[in-house]
Amino acid sequence: MITPASSLPRRLAVAALLLIGSPAVARAHAILVESQPPVGGMVAAGHVAIRLRYNSRIDHARSRLTLNLPDKTQTVLATPATDAVDILSAAADLAPGAYTLRWQVLAVDGHITRGDVPFTVTTSGASPAAAAAR
């Protein structure tokens, strides 16, 4: 089908707008896609490895993990440098109780996103499955 020449500029303009708008999708904010401990999960007391994976590259130097302890105090966790561009990790020695891990990351799109990962630490002798059955 042959289209009139006058519709060609309009089609080119629409195509240009679509191309200009497309990078916004590729530069989406960092969204948490996986966490250890899992959201609402349980882990045994002792040395707890923390690992958060995002859907995009994050700036490790400008990102932060804060642990809210059962007594309502907070501590900022050290996040060692890693080769993984989408993972923020830390570790802590934790006693039984209810915790909330508060994360804040700077994505490569320049936007800061935040969120919480609540989890429970059970006694070291009890498995998380046994504690859940109580």
- The answer to whether 58 touches 29, Cβ cutoff 8 Å, is no
Burial of 118 (0-12, 13-18, 19+ CB in 10 A): middle
Domain that holds residue 46: 28-133
What is the C-alpha to C-alpha distance for residues 100 and 123, in angstroms, rounded to an integer? 17
Tens digits of per-residue pLDDT, 47-106? 999 999 999 999 998 999 999 999 999 999 999 888 889 999 999 999 999 999 999 999
Domains in the chain, number: 1
Does some domain include residue 22?
no
Does some domain include residue 19?
no
Does some domain include residue 6?
no
Radius of gyration of the chain (CA): 22
What is the C-alpha to C-alpha distance for residues 35 and 42, in angstroms, rounded to an integer? 12
Does some domain include residue 17?
no
Does some domain include residue 114?
yes
- The answer to whether 95 touches 122, Cβ cutoff 8 Å, is no
Does some domain include residue 12?
no
Tens digits of per-residue pLDDT, 8-21? 556 555 444 444 44
Tens digits of per-residue pLDDT, 49-62? 999 999 999 999 89
At 86, is the secondary structure helix, strand, or coil?
A: coil
Does some domain include residue 94?
yes
CATH number at residue 116: 2.60.40.1220
pTM, rounded to two decimals: 0.71
